[in-house]
Structure 1
Amino acid sequence: MRYLRRNNRRRSTIRSSSGNPRLSTKSLYNTRSLDEGEGKMNTLLYTLPPFLISIIFSIFNKKAGYILTMISSIILLITSIYEYNGVLSFFSIISTSVWILASIFSIEYDHYGKWLSPLYILTILGMTIVLNSDGYLLFLAGWEIMTIPAYVAIGLTAKNNRPPFVFMAFGELSTVLILAGFIIANTTNFNYLPSPVPLIVATFGFIIKMGMMPFLVSEWLPIAHGTAPSNFSAILSATMTLMGVYGILKITILTQTIPIGFSLTIMAIGAFSIFFGALYGYVNENTKGILAFSTIENNGAILVALSLYMISKQLNITSIEHISLITVILYSFAHSVAKTGLFLSSGLQEKQSITYSKKIRNIEIGLTLLASSMSGLLPNIGGVASWLLLENLFMFSYVLHNMISILFIMTGAIIAMGEGLATALLIRYITYTSIFQNTREQLSKIKKYPILLSALIVLILGFTLPYLIYPYKNSTTILGMLTNSVILTQYYNTTFGGISPLYIILLLVAFSIVSYLAFGKPKIRKAETWNNGVNEKEEYTAFAMANNIRQMLKKILRPEEEKFLPTYGLDVFWEYLYKLANSIRRFGKIFAKTLINSSISWYIIYIILTLIVVIIVVVMG
């Protein structure tokens, strides 16, 4: 910890790499976007009316509602680009891109009656308010507006009351913690905060919305997002959880002092969420449940990047601060756009079980690109973000060079294991929904194009966006690569590593052409089915594909051998939750019999104690 404090005094020693202009903090996020509400209110004034009109039209004609929502989102996208005022503007750009894709898909997808469309638009309206709020009160209003319609929409398709009620319970718990943080801030405007307490309290409210540990163990997010209609699942997983990222980043920018211990705690929560989210997703059998657990895994990676941003900001390691911030943005783009395409593809399925899923053709290439980006593979934008995240962790380990460095190495190892499971998870998804035994059913363009377009976006952004916003690039030719084509990671004016997404895409194209010319179209051959310890079937099932992990991790996963298609993964945490619930119930009975036993004497004592507590609180306030 002495080294951490020592780094705080090294403010003036930070420089950018030779030949590259330093990207200043002001250029990364313009403080006017936080202090001045006039621009935000102007944005709301001319973006909210189109969404309100869309809601009205959707009640009478849901297709018209989706078309108007698409148009409204395009208007907001153009506005966000034109009035770009800092890094927080990226969240509006990401969200509107998702809403455009999901709204196009919804035009022919929605068969849930007349109320899904207005609920869908109302949820988007709430997120628009969150992104353009000029103070805490408006932020909370938007937070609730986006939550309540989602609760109703989940109830439209749920077979029982559990999914919507669980979603609402966790949603309101999130609101309570965020409200508590805002009350502690003791202001209605987004002013700079001298104390880290509002950030600490509000962050736990935001990570509930993101489905992070320890809230992951109750599996509320996969149950809720997996139950909703697919177009709704897309905006829930791709943009509603993104509002949690936006909230943490916004309050972090406002906070002047952030305890290192808190940042390390957030890093640990994110790392374990990555691993367990990918693990539970891999053994899951529900088509949308798999993708919901993948959302937790990706949000965990974003949370780790946010923690690194907090640490580097506190230690004033400007280069790592910039890289961490850009990692958050790239990961947010990668997750939101790719998860939109994947959830929309799940809407083409007629069965909940991935083993019995319908294999849709004409989107195989799109799903492959989406899966590779979510797996952290280059040159997609998800690959660039994953590489930057691991580089940041190892840079911190090298720069600090003390016992705390072990934490960063361990975090990197956990993330690497989680990424491996995530890759297997997504291979399993695209294999059993698109690649094998394609159906002859032809998709309409309205359903197909949003999925393919999302895949094209993650690919193009991979070798374009880093060059547009990344501050550190090489100014000389390296190994024959073009000038400024290699993006560098660095600390204290020292280069740590580098990579070239543009070079990778060029090599992939070249090798693919050479391989095709040399070997022609790949041939498919059939092999004897081996079902990973499951009784022999006619084909290699999705359940069998994940059965090796189930057998190796019996103590954690506790699989039911007789149950062939579990909807959501069973895990050891549920057992402890049940034990805890039973213990609380037994304690409640004992407490009721001894202290709440209809005795007037006890009730008088309770009233007196309550009055004393109220008086103390009022006096101290």
Structure 2
Amino acid sequence: MLLAAAVGVIGGGDSGAGRRKAALALVIAGAVAWTAASAGVLADGAAVDFTFYRLTPDLAFAFHLDRLSAFFCLIIAAVAFCAAVYSLNYIEHGAGGRQRDFLTAAMAVFILSMGLVAASANFFALIFFWEMMSLSSLLLVLYERDRAETAKAGVYYLVMTQFSTLFLLLGALLLHRYTGTFDIGAADLSPAAAGLIFGAFFIGFGTKAGVMPFHKWLPFAHAAAPSNISALMSGVMIKVAVYGLVRILLDVLSPELWWGTVLLVFGSVSAVLGVIYALKEHDLKKLLAYHSIENIGIIVIGLGLYVIFGHYSLAALADLSLFGALFHTLNHAVFKSLLFMTAGSVVAATHSRNIEEMGGLVKRMPATAVIFLIGAAAISALPPLNGFASEVMLFQAYLGAFQVPSPLTAVLLFTALAAFALMSALAAACFVKAFGAVFLALPRSKEAEQAVEAPRAMLIGPGILAAACVVLGVFSYQIFNAAGFDLPLIDLLPVTAVTGAIFGLAVFLVRRSGSRVRVSETWGCGIHRQTSKMEYTASGFSEPIVTIFSPIFRTRKSLRREYADRDKSIVAGGSGEIHTLQFFEERIYLPAARLVQRLSGFVSRLHNVDLDAFVLYAFVIIVILLLAVGRWL
């Protein structure tokens, strides 16, 4: 990957397309090697340990690759492979040669840093490569920095990623305080200390994962970044944060019941609100970004169920929840990367992210439409695809809540189950809107009417992921059995075979019947020729759902009419708008920013004093720090 980054920045200019392709070929080769190494560890279970460089006895760049880290490295490598193939054509759609060179090199560094985070053996290395991942991804988010929206995304992402690092550093220092080491391993701590450390790591990892209310950076950053980078950020970067949280729960701390409750509540809120906010979006990439929040919520729900069932010694349900969460981590990486790549193809073809300006692309971009449809069905948890396979595992775990001896916990679980079912239904509705508005009906803009199919490499990358959606769904039962996991799963293979046979027979009988088919236009209220203005828009589709959830959106509707006569009896035209409150931005983030600004102004005024007073302030702060450090040590 480092070699790919070096090749990407050597020379420069528009004539460097071949060199950029060579750099991406190195990324592809590195991803293949990474996949093979991770698969080997997963197959034989033998962990790999090595130390690259030791700064001090306590601080070393050491790596540990066991089955958990290998699983996440495998996800990173697989998505990186497809993203690099996609980028062979996609990067050449961008700006000048220098910017394309930068995008190629920074992408390679970004992929490398994510893998090194998952393979780190201690918190020093993990946080070092975490910052490397954050910095490289920030630069990629700011790729089109001349746009005002990109600058806003960069500010949000910079603040929140450093906020995340701050809490990770706090958790690591607290662990070192109680254990005397930065190594990632089991720690024997009091419940109070363990709870404090869990809280620090949950906020740190949860912020990068996009768990509400720490999520606000995610829709801006994923939408602003180039689509190949959006696929990597949503598909694997936020999964690196999931890896950290899973590692803490499994190998470092001993979870308690209230931890599971926290995870379940935050996960449920993220899942439900994520899909609700996605429903109101008409920016295709922001819509997908909100669904990342929803699916991270699903994963965190699985982790919460694992902790809760483990507390009550319900080992079978705990295992089902944990494997459901990890399986959904893999599945989300596959179908969300696919969706962001195909969205990038659509945006490149139509020069717009607004789905109201698309339509009719199924005839102009049929291969992209089919691949997007598979991803949309998978994220909507429709059988027999992979999204259904992992979500049904969590549904099965939920239904075991009657075995929990605590009535209060059982009520919480069944309430969360209702929210989970609501989320699944809303996700399907959202992607009916997305696919219909983007690909069906008539084009609603000149750009959509003139769109052409994406180049081959931009179809091969997401096409591989689409095939994985089918394989991981249909053969999920066989995959888990082959891996030696005894879980009560549904075998989707015979169901798929029977359903396919029935469907094929029905098609055959209809074609053999020779019945005449009459083709005619949809009735248009007496108007002979249909136009795009007569279509069901995305706004019209989502308006009833937005109205139902108006207490969450704080919806305000405004309607302006233009009349053809003085008596205002004949309407000649008009317009309508739906305004929604940006709750987290307007009620949490902006007030916090204003508070920080006021505090900064106060500190600045303290600095603008005479030298004697400034020296006194410095002396007092140094004494306080010495006392605090002395007490700590």
- TM-score under structure 1 length normalisation: 0.80
Q: CA deviation at 1:323?
A: 1.1
Q: What one-letter code is carried by the residue in structure 1 that aligns with 2:468?
A: I
Output the CA distance in 2 between the equivalents of 1:69 and 1:565. 49
How many matched pairs?
543
1:522–1:208 CA distance, 2 compared to 1 (3 A):
farther
Matches within 5 A, 1:425-464: 425-437=430-442, 441-464=452-475
Output the CA distance in 2 between the equivalents of 1:194 and 1:471. 35
Q: State the partner residue of 2:425.
A: 420
Output the CA distance in 2 between the equivalents of 1:307 and 1:471. 27
Output the CA distance in 2 between the equivalents of 1:285 and 1:344. 17
Output the CA distance in 1 between the equivalents of 2:68 and 2:6. 33
Output the CA distance in 2 between the equivalents of 1:519 and 1:67. 48
Q: State the partner residue of 1:553.
A: 549
3-state SS of paired residue (1:115)? helix
Q: What one-letter code is carried by the residue in structure 2 that aligns with 1:93?
A: L
2:192 aligned with 1:191, yes or no? no
Q: State the partner residue of 2:371.
A: 366
2:132 aligned with 1:145, yes or no? yes
1:315–1:284 CA distance, 2 compared to 1 (3 A):
same
1:393 to 390, 395, 398: 398
Output the CA distance in 1 between the equivalents of 2:612 and 2:6. 58
Output the CA distance in 2 between the equivalents of 1:201 and 1:447. 40
3-state SS of paired residue (1:376)? coil
Q: State the partner residue of 1:513.
A: 504
The 8 Å contact of residues 79 and 232 in structure 2, kept in 1 or not, is answered as yes
Q: CA deviation at 1:601?
A: 10
The 8 Å contact of residues 385 and 473 in structure 2, kept in 1 or not, is answered as yes
Please list every run of 5 or more consecutive structure 2 residues that lacks an aligned counterpart in the other structure. Answer: 11-18, 46-66, 444-448, 512-516, 526-531, 560-574
Deviations along 1:38-77, one digit per CA (max 9) or x if unpaired, are xxxxxxxxxxxxx111111122422211121111101100
Q: State the partner residue of 1:580.
A: 591
The 8 Å contact of residues 280 and 569 in structure 1, kept in 2 or not, is answered as no
The 8 Å contact of residues 140 and 179 in structure 1, kept in 2 or not, is answered as yes
2:156 aligned with 1:169, yes or no? no
Q: State the partner residue of 1:285.
A: 282
Q: CA deviation at 1:151?
A: 0.8
* Aligned-residue CA RMSD (Å): 3.2
Deviations along 1:554-596, one digit per CA (max 9) or x if unpaired, are 3322456469999997433434237835973897599789999
Deviations along 1:70-128, one digit per CA (max 9) or x if unpaired, are 11101100111112232432211111111111110100001243211111111001011
Q: CA deviation at 1:375?
A: 1.1
The 8 Å contact of residues 213 and 584 in structure 2, kept in 1 or not, is answered as no
Question: Structure 1 stretch 184-193 or stretch 283-292: which is displaced more?
Answer: 184-193
1:562–1:448 CA distance, 2 compared to 1 (3 A):
farther
3-state SS of paired residue (1:355)? helix
Matches within 5 A, 1:131-530: 131-158=118-145, 159-160=147-148, 161-186=151-176, 187-195=181-189, 196=194, 197-216=196-215, 219-348=216-345, 349=347, 350-357=351-358, 359=361, 360-437=365-442, 441-469=452-480, 489=488, 499-520=490-511, 526-528=522-524
Q: State the partner residue of 2:87.
A: 106
1:319–1:593 CA distance, 2 compared to 1 (3 A):
closer
3-state SS of paired residue (2:533)? coil
2:39 aligned with 1:81, yes or no? yes
How high is the sequence identity, in percent, across the aligned residues? 21
1:166–1:537 CA distance, 2 compared to 1 (3 A):
same
Output the CA distance in 2 between the equivalents of 1:545 and 1:71. 44
Higher relative contact order (CA 8 A, sep 6+): 1
1:146–1:472 CA distance, 2 compared to 1 (3 A):
closer
2:538 aligned with 1:542, yes or no? yes
The 8 Å contact of residues 285 and 568 in structure 1, kept in 2 or not, is answered as no
The 8 Å contact of residues 366 and 456 in structure 1, kept in 2 or not, is answered as no
1:472–1:582 CA distance, 2 compared to 1 (3 A):
closer
Q: State the partner residue of 2:29.
A: 71
Q: CA deviation at 1:615?
A: 4.0
Please list every run of 5 or more consecutive structure 1 residues that lacks an aligned counterpart in the other structure. Answer: 1-50, 474-483, 490-497, 530-535
Deviations along 1:357-388, one digit per CA (max 9) or x if unpaired, are 36232233322221111112221111011111
2:75 aligned with 1:94, yes or no? yes
1:614–1:121 CA distance, 2 compared to 1 (3 A):
same
The 8 Å contact of residues 284 and 569 in structure 1, kept in 2 or not, is answered as no
The 8 Å contact of residues 375 and 422 in structure 1, kept in 2 or not, is answered as yes
Q: CA deviation at 1:599?
A: 9.2
Q: Bigger radius of gyration, 1 or 2?
A: 2
The 8 Å contact of residues 5 and 108 in structure 2, kept in 1 or not, is answered as yes
Q: CA deviation at 1:410?
A: 1.0
3-state SS of paired residue (1:546)? helix
Q: CA deviation at 1:339?
A: 0.6
Q: CA deviation at 1:148?
A: 0.7
1:585–1:250 CA distance, 2 compared to 1 (3 A):
closer
The 8 Å contact of residues 390 and 412 in structure 1, kept in 2 or not, is answered as yes
Output the CA distance in 2 between the equivalents of 1:370 and 1:243. 22
Q: CA deviation at 1:390?
A: 1.8
Q: CA deviation at 1:428?
A: 1.7
Output the CA distance in 1 between the equivalents of 2:470 and 2:258. 37
3-state SS of paired residue (1:215)? coil
Output the CA distance in 1 between the equivalents of 2:156 and 2:130. 17
3-state SS of paired residue (1:362)? helix
Q: State the partner residue of 1:14.
A: none
Question: Structure 1 stretch 501-510 or stretch 283-292: which is displaced more?
Answer: 501-510
The 8 Å contact of residues 235 and 340 in structure 1, kept in 2 or not, is answered as yes
1:614–1:291 CA distance, 2 compared to 1 (3 A):
same
3-state SS of paired residue (1:377)? coil
Q: State the partner residue of 2:109.
A: 122
Output the CA distance in 2 between the equivalents of 1:207 and 1:231. 23
Output the CA distance in 2 between the equivalents of 1:325 and 1:382. 16
The 8 Å contact of residues 125 and 145 in structure 1, kept in 2 or not, is answered as no
The 8 Å contact of residues 373 and 382 in structure 1, kept in 2 or not, is answered as yes
Output the CA distance in 2 between the equivalents of 1:299 and 1:398. 26
2:8 aligned with 1:58, yes or no? yes
Deviations along 1:488-525, one digit per CA (max 9) or x if unpaired, are 54xxxxxxxx6321232123212321331244599786
